[in-house]
């Protein structure tokens, strides 16, 4: 009954709802940590992730250079 009256910070430390919230948060952190630990060990995804990042960098450089060439071409053709 005290949960309806008191603020959550004033609850008893061994209240079942607080204990369950803490355990749930710890379980979430551990599951994310385990997933990030296993990702580099998975060879296909690790290689794919590295090549995807490098490919996006190459595409960005190509778009910048293509835009500069196109801009230069448009300014030359106008004059």
Say if residue 1's pLDDT is above 70. Answer: no
Could you give the CA distance from residue 63 to residue 9 in angstroms, rounded to a whole number? 54
* Predicted TM-score (pTM) of this structure: 0.42
Could you give the CA distance from residue 27 to residue 63 in angstroms, rounded to a whole number? 44
6-34 pLDDT per residue, tens: 777 777 778 888 888 889 999 988 887 77
Q: What is the arithmetic mean of pLDDT over 44-51?
A: 69
What pLDDT, on a 0 to 100 scale, did the predictor assign at position 34?
A: 75
Burial 29-61 (b: 16+ CB within 10 A, else e): eeeeeeeeeeeeeeeeeeeeeeeeeeeeeeeee
Confidence of residue 66 (pLDDT cuts 50, 70, 90): very high
């Amino acid at each position: 009954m005290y949960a309806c009256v008191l603020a959550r910070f004033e609850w008893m430390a061994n209240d079942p709802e607080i204990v369950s919230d803490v355990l749930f948060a710890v379980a979430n952190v551990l599951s994310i940590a385990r997933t990030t630990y296993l990702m580099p060990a998975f060879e296909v995804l690790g290689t794919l992730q590295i090549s995807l990042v490098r490919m996006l960098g190459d595409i960005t450089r190509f778009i910048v250079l293509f835009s500069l060439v196109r801009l230069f071409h448009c300014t030359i053709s106008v004059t």
